[in-house]
Amino acid sequence: MTINIKKISESYDPNKVEWRNYKDPSCKEFKIDFDYSLLGYDIKNGRLDMLLRYPKDKSHCRRHRHVGSTLTLVLEGEQYLTEFNLDGSKNTIHRKKGDYALAKTDASPHLEHGGEMGGIVLLSMQAKDGLLFEYFDENMQNGWTVSVEQYVESWNNKSTYGD
């Protein structure tokens, strides 16, 4: 049985949290290599707070879009995003340490990576139906979603979310 609300970490200090790594060596377009740490969650209300750490050399996270509303705060380094719009255009976003952003629900699919020296961001996500992300294959198609409950379950099982 899953607990509905839990604070996992007392701190967002990158030296005090538990990190999990995800790599995808099958991606040839760019390097998918990042760490994440869950800070806390509220399954009933669709909330998840986590840290995302990009190693140096422009490491990416998976191709995705945020289904839930997401607050982003850059704690260290940099964050770069390339958003893919429905009309085929792209937006490029660059955030530096201290930058804050608030994204609406059903955000555009995007690629995301750290800068040359990496980066750490705090993500605080809220999803009415519990769905946080939609991930995509190398063609930005064949999406699958991951919920707060799935994130928590994978964290508790010491597995990687979304697989």
Domain ranges for the chain, please list them: 18-156
- Give pLDDT tens digits along the chain (163 positions): 567 889 999 999 999 999 999 888 888 888 889 999 999 999 999 999 999 999 998 888 888 989 999 999 999 999 999 998 889 899 999 999 999 999 988 888 999 999 999 999 999 999 989 999 998 877 777 888 989 999 999 999 988 765 5
pTM summary value: 0.91
What is the third-level CATH fold of 18-156?
Jelly Rolls (2.60.120)
pLDDT on residue 144: 86
Say which residues have a Cβ less than 8 Å from residue 117's Cβ, sequence separation at least 6.
56, 77, 78
Residue 47 CB coordination number (10 Å): 18
48 and 151 in contact (C-beta within 8 Å)?
A: yes
99 and 74 in contact (C-beta within 8 Å)?
A: yes
